[in-house]
Amino acid sequence: MKRIVVREHGAPGVMKLEEVELGHPGPNEIKVRNHAIGVNYTDVYTRQGNETYLSKKNEEIEPFTPGKEGAGIVLEIGESVKRFKPGDRVVYVQSFGAYGEYHIVKESRTLPLPESLSFEIAASNTLRGLTAHFLMHYTYPVRKGEIVLVHAATGGVGSILTQWIKSKGATVIGTVDSDDKKETARQLGADFVINTLTEDVAAKVSEYTDGKKCHVVFDGLGKAVAEASLNSLRRFGYYVNYGMVTGSIHLDLWDLAVYGSLYATFGDLKHHEDDYDKLSSMAKDYFTAITDGTIHIEPPVQLSLAEAPKAHELLESNKRIGTVILIP
């Protein structure tokens, strides 16, 4: 079968399409024929050699295949698999090595895919949707009437947060990095939109809220907006980070006191996914929100498996709105 293989960390061109053998699933494993494969920023980080996202931290790497999510049809099941059978439509998450025609995944990371959702939508947005779910339901349960700042409001997770939080009756202040994206953010449900590159985020938040500021900030950007985020929070507010695209954040606990006895945390899906019933329930909530129109997902950009380097270039350019998938 064909599979993307990385033999050295570096630019997108280090990803090569190769012919490899894939065996049979072991106990509690499933072999899936991929119909669509999600492309995420964490794939970029592992390709680059970002130590935060590597399971092994050494200079000489073993060849690996990027990718953590995809959707397709079950071809074969291993011993003790009880929830799935050959022919089932599924989506899987947090399963390293997805960039290939086939993938062997753990049953515990596989979810049933309803007929109402396409493989393309599922592969492009399930990880993002699950991330948005735990952030706004578990990390900080957003309530009606609250004021929420969502950074990168037109991005993968940000666009879902913006729509879902708005549906809860909260006020959403979204940020973008260009004026071209402002109207898109408004269409997603943002009540106010701020350009982080040309406007003072904290000053605008204060203006839009009559000085009351926000109850919570959801930030997947990191360093570039960290200080503005803290300055945008009211006393006892919550700073929730879930990604550091622009660089790492180093907070002193005393800083939280200075900014108003704030709370700060980093949310990670891996701390929720080990409970399969919880993961399944989160996915069901998210899929329902798509099918009932609460959340609108734009069709992803589709590229062939061989075009994986181009997919990463698109992500790193930060010029697109929406998601990218690979079609084997």
pLDDT band at 127 (very low <50, low <70, confident <90, very high): very high
Residues 122 and 6 in one domain: yes
Work out the average pLDDT over 235-263. 94
Give the Cα separation of 148 and 205 in Å (integer). Answer: 10
Residue 307: which CATH number?
3.90.180.10
Would 35 be classed as within a structural domain? yes
Asked if residue 17 belongs to a domain, the reply is: yes
141 pLDDT band (50/70/90 cuts)?
A: very high
Confirm whether 8 is domain-assigned. Answer: yes
Q: Which of 50-54, 66-70, 112-116, 204-208 has the lowest mean pLDDT?
A: 50-54
Q: Provide the pLDDT for residue 321.
A: 62
Residue at token pair 């929830």: 83
Radius of gyration of the chain (CA): 20
CB 172 within 8 A of CB 144: no
Give a yes or no: residue 139 inside a domain. no
Q: Is the pLDDT of residue 59 over 60?
A: no
Say what the pLDDT of residue 195 is.
98
Given a contact cutoff of 8 angstroms between Cβ atoms, the answer to whether 172 and 313 are in contact is: no
Residues 19, 122 within the same domain? yes
pLDDT tens per residue, range 291-315: 999 999 999 999 999 999 999 999 8
Q: Which domain, by its residues, includes 190?
A: 144-266
% of the chain surpassing 70 pLDDT: 96
Based on the fold, state whether residues 250 and 309 are members of the same structural domain.
Answer: no
The pLDDT, as a whole number, for residue 117 is 97
271 lies in a domain? no
Q: Does 15 share its domain with 117?
A: yes
3-state secondary structure of 275: coil
